[in-house]
Structure 1
Amino acid sequence: MTIMNNALSGALASQVALSATSQNIANLQTKGYTRQAALLATIGGNGPRDAGNGVAVSQLMRFSDGYKSQQMWRAASSVGQFSQSQPYLTQLERVMGDESASLSAGIDKFFAALNAVAGVDPTSSALRGQVLTAAGLMAQRFNNLNNVFNSQLQSVVQQRTAIVDSANSAIAEIASLNLRITHAASTGTSASSLIDARDQAIDRLASQMALEVSDQPDGTRNISLVTGESLVIGGVGGKLAASGGVTSVQSFSLSFASSTFNVNTAVLGGQLGGLTTFEHNVLAPLQQGVADLARQLSDKVNATLSAGYTMSGATPGKPLFVFNAGSTSAMLQVAPGFQASDLAFSKDGNPGDTGNLQELLTLKGAPISVTGLGTVLVGDADTQLVGKLGVDSQQNQSSLTTAETVRTQAEQDWQSTSAVNQDEEAVNLVEYQKMYQANMKVMSVANALFDATLQMMG
């Protein structure tokens, strides 16, 4: 009977719809889950007096919007880019701005010790000893800060290597999911959970580097870097590699199929791009600027001392500092064996003369050339380096705040389309339940009519 068939199709369709609704409710708190719904379509009749042949579930529809997903992945790249460098910037600000570790305080104390000698007695062994002590402490501040730079560089190298390993895992997962999604489509199996897993893997990868994602007719997604190199095509994935480290420039490459490409991480965006940009634009220039200050300050002090006489009055001065370019632990140090009596404060050989000492005091206002700043005064160099670092940190923090806001809005947009709405699903649950019950009632009526017809026929 047509009535019975129609009711049966309606009951079966409502069961599928109830199943989709129950799946949505079960995954109410599942991150990245995309809600589904049964798409119902009427089955047409066969003649002018045939109302129709019931209803069918044409497909299980996923509520997804490719544009909103793309926006979310782009925002993830921006957040990754600025979030990775901010901890390093904050640490440098705290170290360089700390009174107990700042270069400015060390330089001030060194010149203050020189000034104390000039104002009291240039032959005082105690005051000369204070100058030597202040020189050693100032050198130690340079070395401590250089150690912080080297430690951060090592951390950046290790972090980028870890990101490359994590990215390779995500690339392999996306390629594998592409294959499984294609297989599911060919066998008529639902691929919704596989698509969700792939989208989450893409989201993780997007936080590590900016991506271009393109949908293919077979349901797969091809992934490439913003610079054009392919990471995933169908079920084939590439592999990133990092080589080098702290003692040499770290380089990156991408192997895909039988080809290998060099990758410039500075333009990749995401976590990889953010770390490389921080290293090239902030860390390396800052470390070089501090080295410039240490080298030129030591050169000027050594040259001035070499032009004077020690406390004996007959011995010419000798260098106080030794600058070790490229040293990882002792960039600046007091010359081995240097004694307080070796300080050449006299200009004319008279132990009580302070002519050369006065010239030493003027060095604090002497101009030097510092990477990232240009020509500055010795006494102002560290302050300006710290100021520039503060500007870089504030700009990065501002960009991070903006990126996080955009990411939050992108997530909310995605959720408005794809996330499970508890109230909406509760309504659907009641409606499909009623639909099922109504169709079962129709089946009961149809059965009663069939029995009545049999009785009439006798």
Structure 2
Amino acid sequence: MSLINIALSGMNANRVALDVTAQNVANVNTPGYSRQQALMSSVAGGKYDFNSPGMGVEVTSIRRVTDQYLVKQTWSTASEANYSAGYLSAMSQLENMLGADGFSLSAGLDSLFASLNDATTKPESTPLRQQVINESEALARRFNTLTESLHNQHKDVHDQRNAVLSHANSLMANIAQVNKQIVEMQGTGGNASQLMDTRDALIGELSTIMAVKTTDQPDGSVQVSLASGQPLVMGSDSSVIKAIPDPSDPYLADLHIEFGNQTFAAKGDIGGKLGALHDYQVDVLVPNQQAIDDMARSVADEFNAVLAAGLDLNGNPGAPLFTYDPANPAASLDITNITADELAFSADGNPGNSDNLKDLIAISNKPVAISGLGSLSLNDAFTAMVGETAIKARQAESDYQAKKAMSDQAVAARDNVSAVNSDEEAANLMTFANAHNANMKVISTANQLFDSVLQLF
């Protein structure tokens, strides 16, 4: 009977191994699946049965083939790659916007100063004066449309942040739920491999949104936190991340993490797509908006100040050409209801005098203070903004390519260990099937021996 029992144990063990192999083959194309192995151990014979070779074999456990170091590498590199991708996308959009002809402040300034130069040939000419007014209005429209586009991108970043936070909160709740299921399954001796794969996939998805770090717990759960230490998931409990609007700008926000009755401010490098949105908005978009506001304010103030020092065709003191709301200069920049005759080109009241007109032209080279760019001419300020954006966009592209390559390498390293190899599984199928059949042959042989013994009586 020992012969049959030993063979039965071999059949059962190899059947389990075949089931595991079949599961691996079935999931050969499942993203994030970690292949499994049936671990076998010999069953010892009786304590006092010195002639027993053993009692067969048993499957002690089903091993999930994984290297958590490699898995964590995929998370960290995915966070960096998605940060770079998000930052590159925003910078490319800004570069295209500033490079478009309709948004070019340099082109508008060139046209305005060209019209002023044309007016020097005949300062009293009404058509030439009207052309100056027309170009001034066209320049104001460029400021309006450019700042409106920047404002729309500012709002879009805000909307993206809210959508990303909603997704992150859902992922954290799901991770906490899977944590609970894993603890319960391992507590009853079940195989939690699929649940662990699911949890790894959820954490991987969360890492694309923000940089996270994890700590394995003795009960099988995983603790997830921000790279700076604030808790996101602890056991079956998860945090909720909220964006608290900035009082000075409803589209800017500080991130707060609510965990139970505690609230933590998300400080430091957030990473991932969320970090890219924050850094682009705070470091690039808002400073550019401020710089364009400074440029609009300087255009209006400089032109109006020079015109106020001159006289128009009727000998009256010069009237202002531009008007704006100090709270939002670029968006509100406009021309006044000034007429061609009221442009104060003359310094002495003589209609043919163009001394004040020359002072207006000189504004083109006059340094003005622009936030983030220093003291430089209006045209140079916009050119510098466009150039700096182009440089940052190229750097972002280079950084993305490098980080994407690192992420791909990390995934490949993980898959090299954990992914299903069709050839290997095909070989396993033959090995376990042959072993199963061999054990059946042992049982058949045992039956023949038993029948032979019975025939002796």
1-side partners of 2:406 and 2:281: how far apart?
25
Please report how far the alpha carbon of residue 244 of structure 1 lies from its aligned counterpart in structure 2 after TM superposition: 2.2
After superposition, residues 373-384 of structure 1 pair within 5 angstroms as: 373-384=373-384
Determine if contact 2:178/2:195 at 8 Å carries over to the other structure. Answer: yes
Determine if contact 1:150/1:328 at 8 Å carries over to the other structure. Answer: no
The 3-state SS of whatever aligns with 2:118 is helix
Deviations 1:252-303 (A, max 9, x none): 2111121112223x62111111111001111011111111111112211110
2-side partners of 1:91 and 1:182: how far apart?
46
1-side partners of 2:223 and 2:329: how far apart?
44
What is the aligned partner in structure 2 of residue 231 from structure 1? Answer: 232
After superposition, residues 221-260 of structure 1 pair within 5 angstroms as: 221-244=222-245, 247=250, 249-260=252-263
Higher mean C-alpha deviation, range 320-329 or range 341-350: 320-329
Tell me which amino acid in the other structure corresponds to 2:383.
T
What is the aligned partner in structure 1 of residue 279 from structure 2? Answer: 277
Determine if contact 1:146/1:331 at 8 Å carries over to the other structure. Answer: no
Tell me which amino acid in the other structure corresponds to 1:260.
T
What is the aligned partner in structure 2 of residue 6 from structure 1? Answer: 6
User: Which 5+ residue runs of structure 1 have no aligned equivalent?
Assistant: none
What is the aligned partner in structure 1 of residue 28 from structure 2? Answer: 28
After superposition, residues 198-209 of structure 1 pair within 5 angstroms as: 198-209=199-210
What is the aligned partner in structure 2 of residue 261 from structure 1? Answer: 264
The TM-score with structure 2 as length reference comes to 0.97
1-side partners of 2:229 and 2:379: how far apart?
48
Determine if contact 1:147/1:328 at 8 Å carries over to the other structure. Answer: no
What is the aligned partner in structure 1 of residue 86 from structure 2? Answer: 84
Determine if contact 2:155/2:251 at 8 Å carries over to the other structure. Answer: no
What is the aligned partner in structure 1 of residue 392 from structure 2? Answer: 392
Change (3 A) 1:359 1:329: closer
Please report how far the alpha carbon of residue 96 of structure 1 lies from its aligned counterpart in structure 2 after TM superposition: 1.1
1-side partners of 2:327 and 2:67: how far apart?
53
**What is the alpha-carbon root mean square deviation over aligned residues?**
1.4
Change (3 A) 1:83 1:248: closer
Tell me which amino acid in the other structure corresponds to 2:201.
Q
After superposition, residues 58-73 of structure 1 pair within 5 angstroms as: 58-73=60-75
The TM-score with structure 1 as length reference comes to 0.96
Aligned length: 453
After superposition, residues 106-121 of structure 1 pair within 5 angstroms as: 106-118=108-120, 120-121=121-122
What is the aligned partner in structure 2 of residue 153 from structure 1? Answer: 154
The 3-state SS of whatever aligns with 1:247 is strand
Deviations 1:141-161 (A, max 9, x none): 111110111101101111111
The 3-state SS of whatever aligns with 2:30 is coil
1-side partners of 2:450 and 2:332: how far apart?
101
User: Which 5+ residue runs of structure 2 have no aligned equivalent?
Assistant: none
Change (3 A) 1:30 1:328: farther
Identity of aligned residues (%): 38
What is the aligned partner in structure 1 of residue 367 from structure 2? Answer: 367
After superposition, residues 69-218 of structure 1 pair within 5 angstroms as: 69-118=71-120, 120-218=121-219
1-side partners of 2:115 and 2:436: how far apart?
93
Tell me which amino acid in the other structure corresponds to 1:217.
P
Higher mean C-alpha deviation, range 183-192 or range 8-17: 183-192
Tell me which amino acid in the other structure corresponds to 1:403.
K
The 3-state SS of whatever aligns with 2:232 is strand
Q: Does 1:451 align with 2:454?
A: no
Please report how far the alpha carbon of residue 334 of structure 1 lies from its aligned counterpart in structure 2 after TM superposition: 0.7
2-side partners of 1:82 and 1:28: how far apart?
31
1-side partners of 2:264 and 2:75: how far apart?
24
Tell me which amino acid in the other structure corresponds to 2:277.
L
Tell me which amino acid in the other structure corresponds to 2:242.
A
Change (3 A) 1:447 1:56: same
Tell me which amino acid in the other structure corresponds to 2:78.
A
Tell me which amino acid in the other structure corresponds to 2:13.
A
What is the aligned partner in structure 2 of residue 350 from structure 1? Answer: 350
Please report how far the alpha carbon of residue 248 of structure 1 lies from its aligned counterpart in structure 2 after TM superposition: 5.7
